[in-house]
Amino acid sequence: MSKGAIIYPGSFDPVTYGHIDIIKRASKNYDTVYVSVLENSKKSPLFTVEERVKMLKDVTRDYDNIIIDTFRGLLIDYAKEKDVHMVLRGLRALTDFEYELHMAQTNYLISQGTLETVFLPTDLEYSYLSSTTVREIASYHGDVSKFVPESVAVSLYKKFGY
Ligand code: ADP
């Protein structure tokens, strides 16, 4: 039976083990997983979209049903373009919940009930982990090897010149 496709959108600035855990679990449960990097002009990211895509491709290269992509504008428009009706988000803690609930309800409403959101609770091991924390630690030349794969750590070290 076809399990369909799902879009996992986010900033991934940079991708962490927390994201990777969600991506791997999704890849087992859906035929195709679009990991879609949002080009958001309002945020000033550490890594360019191209750099984030490259890191994501690198860490997911062993999975053949994961597609790394980018989008700008509204998620509902991007989902329509891809003909995908499911969005995936990870939930770390209660603090994520309110924002994520509003996003999911809004997308459902403005898509006229055609775009559903599913949540995967984070693995306990990564529930503390965020890209923001990783960027902060790396900015002080700290060790990020417990939070991101080697290739991402190297990109962070290069970015911060150590
Ligand atoms: P955004 O800026 O859209 O929140 P992120 O790249 O920070 O993008 O996160 C993308 C998605 O991954 C969100 O659903 C977020 O809750 C989830 N996520 C982030 N960090 C983790 C983690 N450590 N474990 C599980 N899910 C996570």
CATH code at 35?
3.40.50.620
Mean pLDDT, range 56-62, rounded to an integer: 97
The reply to whether 141 falls in a domain is: no
The reply to whether 80 falls in a domain is: yes
The reply to whether 66 falls in a domain is: yes
State the residue range of the domain holding 21: 5-127
Cα(28) to ligand 1 centroid in Å equals 19
> What was the pLDDT predicted at 152?
98
Tens-digit pLDDT profile for residues 17-44: 999 999 999 999 999 999 999 998 777 9
The reply to whether 138 falls in a domain is: no
The reply to whether 120 falls in a domain is: yes
The reply to whether 153 falls in a domain is: no
- 26 vs 3, more confident: 26
Mean pLDDT, range 36-57, rounded to an integer: 94
Residues with catalytic annotation?
A: 19, 43, 92, 131
- Cβ of 14 below 6 Å from ligand 1: no
The two three-digit tokens of residue 71, written as one number? 């989008």
- Average pLDDT of the chain is 95
Tens-digit pLDDT profile for residues 78-118: 999 999 999 999 999 888 899 999 999 999 999 999 999 99
> What was the pLDDT predicted at 42?
78
> What was the pLDDT predicted at 2?
57
> What was the pLDDT predicted at 117?
98
The reply to whether 158 falls in a domain is: no
The reply to whether 36 falls in a domain is: yes
Looking at the structure of the chain, the number of domains it has is 1
- Which ligand 1 atom is nearest residue 129's CA? 23
